[in-house]
A and B are shown apart, each in its own frame.
Chain A
Amino acid sequence: MLSFTIRSFFQKLVTLFFISIISFLVVYLAPGKPSQIDPLNPKFTPQDLVRFQKEFNLDKPLHIQYYLYYKNLFTGQLKSWKDNQPVMGKVYERFLNSLWLFIVGTVITWCLSFPIGISAAIRRGSVFDRSTTFLSYVLISVPGFFFAYILIIFVVKTFDVPVIGMQTFGMSNAENIYQIMDRVWHLVLPSILGALGGIALLSRYVRAQMLEVIHQDYIRTARAKGLSTDMVYYKHGFRNALLPFVTMFGLILPGVIGGSVITESIFAWPGMGRMGYEAILARDYPIILTLNFIVAVLVLIGTFISDLLYMVVDPRIRL
């Protein structure tokens, strides 16, 4: 176990090094310079351009820029090009906002996928099974932004509540209970949207896993000795089907940022995805690169945790 941990750690470190090179090159080698973002701005003189390039090391050779960029990132001195604020502080602020969406979305996903997947597997071929199968294909195929607008029309017309942004403007003087309700209403739609794709995929996976398990011999044995159906399915079946999902806790980690660009843009949610979108528009390379790097680190940590969990829950596996 220890040798696996050490080996895996160094492998991931090497992977991260190559990721840092590729993401740096993708952004820096692209045509167009960040200093040309606003060529028609009369206040941006050639002297300013030189000052800008000097300030952000853009006049140095590429490998020096690479070194300086990651040195600044790790020492926390990296500044955004747009407003000269420390990148880490900005990212942390947005991270807290995204975290809410992530937590609520994940809870909804996991609470709904398991009951749906298990019932579909037990009643295989029934109307319920076929309709959830079809529905999950629909949820995978629907463009997120289109579905967001349908939900906005529906919720705004039916419940008459505001949904855009994180809170209603001018609510800070209201009583606590109103403020909390306001926050909750703003949270509902974006987190449901974030969860839907996950529900579709995860419930299909739970169904497949459960189907595999209930055709095993020990389930037949459990039935043969006269246990009740619930006992057979939930104690003998479900426990064994659960195994692959324990490890998925590690893999959902990158979801904090990934895939939320469109949702956060529609709902004007000040999270990390929207921050990335704004940074792309403004060609704010330090923020784009930092977000890329954070996602890569999260993916690597996630796979590492899931490998470890595999070994913990299934003693047969030796990596």
Chain B
Amino acid sequence: MINENNINELHHGLAVEVSRFSEGWRIFKKNKLALWGLIIFAVFFMVAVSGLFLTTGDNPVLDPSKVRLSEKLLKPFTTVDMEMIKPGDQPLFGTYLLGTDDLGRDIFARMMQGAWVSLTVGFVAVGISVLIGIIMGGIAGYYGMYRIKLIHVLFLIAFFCSMVFLASGQRGLAVNSALLSLLFAVISVIYNYFSLKVNRGPAILNILFFDTFTVDTLIMRFVDVMLCFPSFFLILTIVAILPASIYNIMIVIGLTSWMGTTRFVRAEFLSLREQDFVSAAKVMGIPDLSIIFRHMIPNAAAPVLVSAAIGVADAILTEAGLSFLGFGVPPPHATWGNVLSDGKRFLFDAPWLTYIPGLSILVVVLSFNLFGEGLRDALNPKLRKR
């Protein structure tokens, strides 16, 4: 019997075990820029969360949409003119910490509200893209070698057509193609049943079960197709056509940025699939899903984490760009992009309306980029001490 003492004795005399985390942290700490990125990210996170609590509710501490027309375009650190403003309408501490805009709204409150928008857009969009990326890349990497039969291709095409016609409101065509796809599905099931029983399907139907391309080809060609679109222009088109809402922006950014993650995950899975621990798990009869989620994904996490950190930076920049062009989060909700966009008309009279949101976006995006690069080094096995 092996008990705890024995295990401790076994470990005695071997090299001191260093966990991957502490080893990675040791490398990460050396990179001063990345450390600053992490610190700024932590500060930004706290600001965003407190911004959410301080600016929502019926009577918020910081009211981002309170209009005070007598107090417009004030410089940062201006104190309130007590004679003009009712006591209830005063900003926090009676001071406009970051000035006011052309409607006399408190920029500090608007920036606090916008921080939460930037944070959620960044994280939700990247969450969506990472989820799609892991699923697509995982399928391409693990099940990639299987070939798709002709009838399955036909089924997919018919099903896709019926969805499209349904969405465009052409009922007749939608029903027809749905019936067609049902027919293909039925044929496929019957064929499988027969070939199991008689070990051979009907000869005429064999042509329908001709092997076409592999699953890997299907997914990677789709990635190629998506990479051909001009991403910002595509996002702009979709966001402009859909009704203005913050959720649409998150979803659209997520749906157009999963291709990099897919490629990373597929590449990792292709090499992991051949390794001994995966073969061992297969021999032990562990189900595929369990192998993928328990054994392979943790080992493929490094490149995904790095691309996610940089993806958050890109998503925040994209959201700011959309808000700037007027397609972002609808007013009166403040985001850093639309504070800047509103301020551009007063570029020479009130430059702080441009500098404050611009510099905030720059610092936050920079921190994510530096953090991502530091993470890349920390997770790089070549730099680890052996």
Contacts and interface: CB of A to CB of B under 8 A. Distances in A.
Interface in A248-280: 254, 257-259, 261-262, 265, 273, 276-277, 280
A281 B165 contact: no
Main secondary structure, interface of B, reads helix
A285 B190 CA distance: 45
Contacts of A299: 227-228
Closest 8 CB pairs of A and B: A146-B358, A30-B241, A141-B365, A141-B366, A296-B228, A295-B230, A258-B230, A299-B228
Interface in B333-380: 337, 340, 344, 347-348, 351, 354, 357-359, 361-362, 365-366, 368-370, 373
Interface string A129-167: 000001001101111111101101100000000000000
B283 interface: no
B321 to A, nearest CB: 6
Given A141-B313, A143-B317, A262-B324, A292 B168 contact: no
B312 to A, nearest CB: 12
B238 A26 contact: yes
25 contacts: A15-B221, A18-B225, A25-B164, A26-B237, A29-B164, A31-B242, A61-B170, A62-B164, A62-B170, A137-B33, A137-B369, A138-B362, A141-B368, A143-B337, A143-B340, A143-B365, A145-B340, A146-B361, A149-B347, A153-B347, A254-B230, A257-B233, A288-B237, A291-B233, A295-B233
A145 B321 contact: yes
Given A138-B366, A146-B340, A152-B347, A300 B325 contact: no
B168 A28 contact: yes
Given A15-B228, A141-B313, A153-B348, A277 B234 contact: no
Contacts of B173: 61
Interface string B232-251: 11101110111100000000
Contacts of B369: 137, 140-141
Given A19-B225, A137-B369, A261 B237 contact: no
Interface of A: 14-15, 18-19, 22-23, 25-32, 61-62, 134, 137-138, 140-147, 149-150, 152-153, 254, 257-259, 261-262, 265, 273, 276-277, 280-281, 283, 288, 291-292, 295-296, 299-300
Contacts of B365: 141-143
A141 B225 contact: no
A262 B228 contact: no
B81 to A, nearest CB: 29
B235 to A, nearest CB: 10
B126 interface: no
B249 to A, nearest CB: 15
Question: Which of A257, A262, A300 has the largest number of chain B CB atoms within 10 A?
Answer: A262
A280 B240 contact: yes
B229 A259 contact: no
Contacts of A147: 358
A145 B170 CA distance: 43
Given A19-B228, A291-B233, 14 more contacts: A19-B225, A31-B242, A32-B241, A61-B173, A137-B373, A146-B358, A149-B344, A259-B232, A262-B324, A265-B325, A276-B233, A288-B237, A292-B230, A292-B234
Given A141-B313, A265-B325, A292-B230, A22 B366 contact: no
Contacts of A27: 237, 241
B140 interface: no
A259 B314 CA distance: 13
B99 to A, nearest CB: 16
Interface string B19-37: 0000000000000010000
A261 B232 contact: yes
Nearest to B313: A141
B230 A257 contact: yes
A137 B366 contact: yes
Contact of A137 (B240, B347, B358, B370): B370
B1 interface: no
B295 to A, nearest CB: 32
Nearest to A289: B237
B320 interface: yes
Interface in B127-141: none
Contact of B233 (A142, A258, A281): A258
Contact of A29 (B33, B167, B362): B167
Contacts of A281: 240
Given A29-B168, A137-B370, A141-B369, A295 B324 contact: no
A70 to B, nearest CB: 16
Nearest to B362: A142
Contacts of B225: 15, 18-19, 22
A171 to B, nearest CB: 23
Nearest to B357: A146
Nearest to B167: A29
A141 B325 contact: no
B58 interface: no
A33 B365 CA distance: 37
Contacts of A25: 164
